[in-house]
Amino acid sequence: MGVKVRKNNAWVALSGGGGGGATGGAVPSGSIIMYNGDVAPSGWTLCDGTNGSPDLRSRFIVGATSGSSLSNFYSLTVSNTGQTSWSVNGTDRNGVVSGNNPTLNFADGDVIWFTVSTNADHPFLVKTVNGNGNGNQLPEYQGSGNGVNGNGAGSFPSFGGIVKLYTLGLAGTTLYYNCENHTPMNGSIIIGASASGTVYNRADTGGSANATLVSHTHGAGSYSALSNGAHTHTYTHNNFSTTLDNDEGNSTIYPNLGTYNTGSAGAHSHSVSGSSGPAGSSATNANLPPYYALTFIMKL
């Protein structure tokens, strides 16, 4: 029994395709499809780890990056401000870039094009060490990894060009853009960690069908209740007394009574410590959506 696909409102057999190429309706060797059967058709093999196939039994498939980080592309225009600075405009990881000799921020794997236009001999160089001259240039890009193409754009006689920077593998590195001839014309290029999230290379494996929110607790931390309870009391009190001598005897009077408040007291707080109770669980296939299992087969 052969394998067929729907094409132009008709079922077309997937046949041929030996070797590494494909012409017409042929399927290239190594192609993998889902198949509703337990025995692979002629010219195919089950993806069970035999006959050079990957073992895809009980596996989901994710897209691989063929060994390279997912990248973002950025474009900036560069011109000279006399012999004192580079004027750079465009975007980087932090947003809009506009100004003289700005610090640029990118992530591992990003590709950056500098479109250079000068009015004199100002070769624009991406370098590993800050400074003029043509030393310490990032190596020429060879089609993979990191490097630079077009270093020196902006030099005589064209006074323009595009410098292309490839940053794969440069996380944690600071590069520099310099004018070969003028020291003040320089800025930093900071390469951070990849912002593409998890990167999967071909043949990577991982994950678990049984992983849910595992049982855990939260530490005590540091907590305080609001300070509360401060208050005062009001009372009256005489400042001094006077004794009068009259015919009927001595009398004491208090001619200068005043109203006063006690000092504020009672403010306090409470400290809280301890750990939260356990939460979460783990169970077989607890995090899988409803599924239907099919076989993967690979073209030989």
Q: How confident is the model over 30-46, as a mean pLDDT?
A: 91
- Spacing of C-alpha 233 from chain mean position: 59
Encode pLDDT of 97-140 as tens digits.
999 999 999 988 899 999 999 999 999 999 999 999 999 999 99
Exposure on the CB side of residue 34, measured as CA atoms within 13 A: 8
- Number of CB atoms found within 10 A of residue 281's CB: 10
- State whether the Cα torsion 94-99-103-106 is positive or negative: positive
Report the distance separating Cα 172 and Cα 108, nearest Å: 8
pLDDT for 250-289, tens place per residue?
A: 555 556 667 777 777 777 777 766 666 666 666 665 666 7
Closest to 76 in 3D by CA, of 54, 60, 58, 99: 99
CA 107 to chain centroid, in Å, comes to: 8
Residue-range domains of the chain with CATH: 73-192 (2.60.40.420)
The encoded tokens of residue 204 equal 């990577």
The residue among 17, 23, 37, 6 whose CA lies nearest residue 299 is 17
Q: Evaluate the CA torsion angle 130, 132, 138, 139 in order and state its sign.
A: negative
Provide CB contacts within 8 A for 141, sequence distance 6+: 147, 148, 149, 164, 166
The structure's pTM equals 0.49
Confidence of residue 25 (pLDDT cuts 50, 70, 90): low
Could you tell me which of 228, 229, 226 has the C-alpha nearest to residue 272? 226
Poorest-confidence range of 11-20, 155-164, 235-244? 11-20
Q: In degrees rounded to 5, what are phi and psi of residue 216?
A: -160, 165
